Each structure stands twice: as structure tokens, then as C-alpha cells.
Amino acid sequence: MITLHEVYEQGTEPVRQAVQAFGDRHPLTPADANAEPDWKTAEKHFTHLVEVIMGTAALRQPHPAGTIRRAENEAVQLLLTLNTVPNYRCPICVKQRRGPL
């Protein structure tokens, strides 16, 4: 599965900005708006987004690579879309604070 770092390295400038904004949603010190991103948490949440988008579809496929790639692409599209929303919150952070659905 692609990592958030790989998305950044391989991405266009808008993708890089979206990755940086996603990282900024995960500050090392939550009370400090200017804190460095907690990239470990951002990476875990990006992976979780891909898994949520993918669902169990990849498990049912004899060759799940195509399904995984589509889910990765959709997760990147989600980051790009969220980047147009001012002050958005990470959907994984929101879900974890709210508890199970």
C-alpha cells in the first residue's frame, strides 16, 4: 500500500499541498497551532482512510492490487477535496473521538 510520504514525493504541487495540510491536522502538540505535524499519526490515518475506502472488496478479489490502487487513488482525491475546505478535521480523528458508529 502506498504511504503518505510516497504520495507527497510522487505528487503534483496540489497533491503535495493537500498532504501537508493533512499532516497539519495532526500536530505533535495539539494546543499549539504552529506545532510540527505528527507524521506518524497522519500516516496511520491515511492508511486507515485507504482501508475504509477499500472496505472488504480487496479481500474478495483473487488479485486485490487493482482494488487497492483504486482505494489509494480515492484517498488522494479525498485529501485534495478536503484541502478546499477551510479548517477541516481529519475524518479518522473525528471517528475515533466519536466512537464506533
From the first residue on, what is the mean pLDDT of each consecutive set of 10 residues in the chain (101 residues)?
95 97 90 86 95 76 78 94 92 77 39
Cβ atoms < 10 Å from Cβ of 92: 19
The alpha carbon of 90 is separated from its chain's Cα centroid by a whole number of angstroms, namely 8
Position 47, amino acid? T
Q: Give residue 57's pLDDT.
A: 63
In DSSP terms, which residues pair with 27 in a beta bridge?
Answer: 37
**Whole-number pLDDT of residue 99:** 46
Q: Check residue 54 and give its pLDDT.
A: 87
Euclidean distance between CA atoms 12 and 56, whole angstroms: 30
**Helices marked H in the chain:** 4-10, 13-24, 39-54, 57-60, 65-82, 91-98
- Crossing angle of the two packed helices 13-24 and 39-54, in degrees rounded to 10: 110
For position 98, what pLDDT does the model report?
65
